[in-house]
Structure 1
């Protein structure tokens, strides 16, 4: 199963059939800034609705429009720093809705004032450290020649290791295998099937097919003849979901 999963991953990567890849957050380690392929702020915002709403409002113009790029559905870029073996949030930038060029501006002080924010985050940070190799062009499914993996427990660094591409892929597959034992995975699979059923109903509806030829309708019905296989769902989730909360050895 693991080997087949890996082959499909590379197929996705080479075919480049997915939507826009996402702009990553940043992390500073020993005064060097890196891209961060994990999203520690997700969990903080989920537990702090007031901050989440403030951040949302700061990115919303007076007419109710939000400046969200297809390359950054989060609507922000967070910058983290590891200092004294602690993971800290040091900045959040969003597009300036008052600016014609929509350049990014910091909203950290508007959210937190002068406070130092410790996220109480637990998970594994994924940091590419060397040459970019390829991308499935979707989400955070980038492939690099080397990475740094850092295990965090309640914002404290408990382990870190530099790994090769092959070691990284082995780690990701082990992590996904553990993820499949979680309730979140079961929920994601259930939602995937529900969304597929909704799409089928809409796509095959009379209003959607009334202007199609018989051949086009037949081809559309073929697409929805059988429900998606679990292997396809697994590969979709592997490439698109943020599962850094699943802690495994590497």
Structure 2
């Protein structure tokens, strides 16, 4: 099955802009004094359906700050979130939770990508794709204010994380730091190749595990988007081995 990377449609008509962020997130971790790397890694994963409002006001306040904390405090906050998050959630620094809050203006397509690692859809577009049998689409209401009479009713899409780069497109791994054991990662290969054995079969769209800033869809989703004439994104076909 063919795989595609989702990208925002660069056409000038899509002027929509969201000045918004998720309500809560896991903070950074104070870096290793030797290599300056975070011991717990990081992610761009977003879980808008995860509701942390049942936590104490003090813990919610701490989970609204991205300021780096000692590793022990990071682990404490992560464990507060774990029982409320789905089993597939990647609970690393930067993981975001709760509704997307803020303001929006301009013209939005049916599918909305404010940046490469986030995906929203108009409510009706999400419902049409779900009715068409597309798997892996969980949409959560946003809390975005629009200064227009015909504001779009956006749903923030929560995605599972799957998939790896094929080893042949990756450089040799860097040696781990002798102090913390963390190894510096690599930037996304250009071009990159996906490892067929690592790809999911139960969802048609997902966030890439090896690069959480990338959203990947298979041809089932792409065919449905094109057949339903939904706009706002473009698809770049990827090589899979």
Q: Same fold (TM over 0.5)?
A: no
User: What TM-score comes out, normalization by structure 1 length?
Assistant: 0.27
Greater helix share, structure number: 1
> Whose relative contact order is higher, 1 or 2, with alpha carbons under 8 Å and at least 6 apart?
2
Higher Cα Rg: structure 1 or 2?
1
